[in-house]
Chains A and B, each alone.
Chain A
Amino acid sequence: MDRSGAVVERDSGEDGCGENMTVSSFTVPYTDDQIEVDTDRRVVMWFRNAWNRESSGYPDETHTFDALLADKGLLVLLTASLAGNDAAELQRLIRTPPA
């Protein structure tokens, strides 16, 4: 995904900008990539090279839970990049209905 279109704007409303993130992090094995799951906003963010010199600082890809549930191929792509237990947890988070 084009990075320029990938940024999720967090709610910066009057008192919303200090909200605590509800985020689970997954490390992509054998890479410096990191996958972050924001269950409040129901999005998955993929940071390529999260902490090395190729890092953009921004999420390189952002997918909503709904988009992932609608696109099985994309979901498989994400989960296949993770270790088994992390993949299962990612699946669980995405499939958990909104509170």
Chain B
Amino acid sequence: MTAPRRLADPPPGQQEVHAWVMDHMGDLIAETPSDAVESDTGGPAAQVSGGQQAADAALRAYDVRGYERLRNNVWPSSSRGASRLSPYIRHGLLTLREVWDHVAGGPQADVVKFRDELRWQEYARHLYARMGTASRRSFRFVVDERTPDVLPGLSGGPWSSPALCLQSSWTELVTEGWLPNQTRMWLASHWSVREGLGWRDGEDLMYRHLLDGSRAANRLGWQWTTGALTGKAYGFSRWQVEKRAPGLCSVCPLEQNCPITNWPANQEREPQAVSDSRLRRDDDLEATAGPATTRRTGHPEAVWMTAESLSDRDPAAAAYPELPVVFVFDEPLLRRLRLSVNRLVFLAQSLAELSTRRQVQLWLGDPVEVLQGTRLATTFAPVPGWRSRAGRLEVVSLHPWPWLERPRSGSIASYTAWVKGGGSQRGRGGAGQR
């Protein structure tokens, strides 16, 4: 491991930030898969840009009208109704509460469906905050997690296919870093349910490219789709494509030889012999949820900001506007994850923009090594990586995570159980919309 080094602020401009990332972290990123070729199916017009201003503008422009009807549309891209706010939500540039409040006053059916999605995101966060790295294991039902030599010669594995529904989704994931939830389900089901490959390999690959990639939401999605959470796998077939991407099959080279005409063999999963008892009960709620109020034990010298919370409105950053913000690109972690250049550009754009409003110090190295000996203000992050690092640092001002609803100690073994346990503002069961 190399010694930490201070990085110059990223320059403004998409091209310049890209060059900055390649210059400083080019050896840490994933190669762009050559099998994710441009298709003629018309992907989305532009990538999501990082930064608070872009996040706020996207939220201001977002109109929830039509969401209920259009949210699952895939193709043509002009027919889609998804908000594309997820990268901003994932990085704390927009809180779930801000987005929740923004859609107030919209058509009721659209608001209900949209807020159901926000609630699912909150459920994913609660689940991950409590279970942490145990989420790597299939939670309640047995599903293969890893496959040896899963990607021989094909970086996209079974997603790299002449079938347009798969190829265009894989290409969009790689080039745009974003997919509607519907195609995330298609890819996950195809990988694990039809092809029988280990779900964690696919999850890792999707995570590498998604601008909104969080272990919380991505793992929950995969666990759900593969049946590890509910015992029933989600089946993807041509039916969904014809319904949600009408016309795509007619321009597919495999139109007459479709590999997904039939549903995959229906897969009922076997229950795990022993499931983690923490799914049922949380005996250390404080560790899961973090502090409810700010804990101050001294005067900080800097604000430690993480990828979980990149906003100007981050509670710790907002509390100390005069202090420099320190952000560390975690070199050991990045070397292991091999994220896409798109993901790092999004982070760099956000930090570059922040640096126009306050002092930002960027580092590349081990965060603990960089930050040791500095009295820090920071915001609790409900992820295991933050906990392990914060525990070795001198945090003298710890600020609460902006939960949509604070975690409780009851069952999170399913979304319904979580809702019944009070983990939902509407306090009712039922389904959220993807």
Q: Which residues of A contact B (CB under 8 A)?
A: 3-4, 6-7, 9-10, 12, 15, 17-19, 21, 23, 25, 32, 36, 49, 51-59
Residues from chain A with Cβ under 8 Å of B243 in the complex: 25
Residues from chain A with Cβ under 8 Å of B233 in the complex: 57
A-contacting 9-mer, from B10-18, B249-257, B351-359: B249-257
Closest B residue by C-beta to A25: B243
Among B224, B259, B261, B434, point to the contact of A52 (Cβ < 8 A).
B434
Task: Provide 27 A-B residue pairs closer than 8 Å at the C-beta atoms, listed in order of the A residue.
Answer: A3-B266, A4-B266, A7-B262, A7-B263, A12-B261, A17-B256, A18-B256, A18-B257, A19-B261, A23-B242, A25-B243, A32-B431, A32-B433, A36-B239, A51-B71, A51-B433, A52-B432, A53-B224, A53-B415, A54-B431, A55-B434, A57-B185, A57-B189, A57-B235, A58-B235, A58-B263, A59-B263
User: Contact mask B218-235 → A, CB, 8 Å, 1/0?
Assistant: 000000100000001111
Whether B263 and A18, one on each chain, are in contact in the complex, defined by CB atoms closer than 8 angstroms, is no
Among B237, B261, B262, point to the contact of A18 (Cβ < 8 A).
B261
Whether A15 and B256, one on each chain, are in contact in the complex, defined by CB atoms closer than 8 angstroms, is yes
Residues from chain A with Cβ under 8 Å of B237 in the complex: 57
Among A3, A7, A15, A52, point to the contact of B431 (Cβ < 8 A).
A52
Residues from chain B with Cβ under 8 Å of A23 in the complex: 242
Whether A17 and B257, one on each chain, are in contact in the complex, defined by CB atoms closer than 8 angstroms, is yes
| Nearest CB of chain B from residue A23's CB, rounded to whole Å | 8
A contacts with B: majority SS: loop
Residues from chain A with Cβ under 8 Å of B266 in the complex: 3-4, 6-7, 58
B240 CB–A CB distance under 8 Å: yes
With A51-B434, A52-B431, A57-B240: A17-B261 Cβ-Cβ less than 8 Å: yes
Closest B residue by C-beta to A18: B256
B72 CB–A CB distance under 8 Å: yes
The CA of A76 and the CA of B432, in the complex, are separated in Å by 29
B170 CB–A CB distance under 8 Å: no
Residues from chain A with Cβ under 8 Å of B256 in the complex: 15, 17-18
With A3-B266, A4-B268, A9-B262: A51-B72 Cβ-Cβ less than 8 Å: yes
B67 CB–A CB distance under 8 Å: no
Among A21, A25, A49, A56, point to the contact of B235 (Cβ < 8 A).
A56
| Nearest CB of chain A from residue B229's CB, rounded to whole Å | 11
The CA of A53 and the CA of B239, in the complex, are separated in Å by 17
Whether A21 and B431, one on each chain, are in contact in the complex, defined by CB atoms closer than 8 angstroms, is no
The CA of A56 and the CA of B185, in the complex, are separated in Å by 11
Please report which residues of chain B, range 379-434, place their CB below 8 angstroms from some CB of chain A when the two chains form the complex.
415, 431-434
Among B232, B259, B431, point to the contact of A53 (Cβ < 8 A).
B431
B258 CB–A CB distance under 8 Å: yes
Closest B residue by C-beta to A36: B239
The CA of A19 and the CA of B72, in the complex, are separated in Å by 24
Whether A17 and B258, one on each chain, are in contact in the complex, defined by CB atoms closer than 8 angstroms, is yes
The CA of A59 and the CA of B235, in the complex, are separated in Å by 9
| Nearest CB of chain A from residue B20's CB, rounded to whole Å | 39
Residues from chain B with Cβ under 8 Å of A19 in the complex: 261
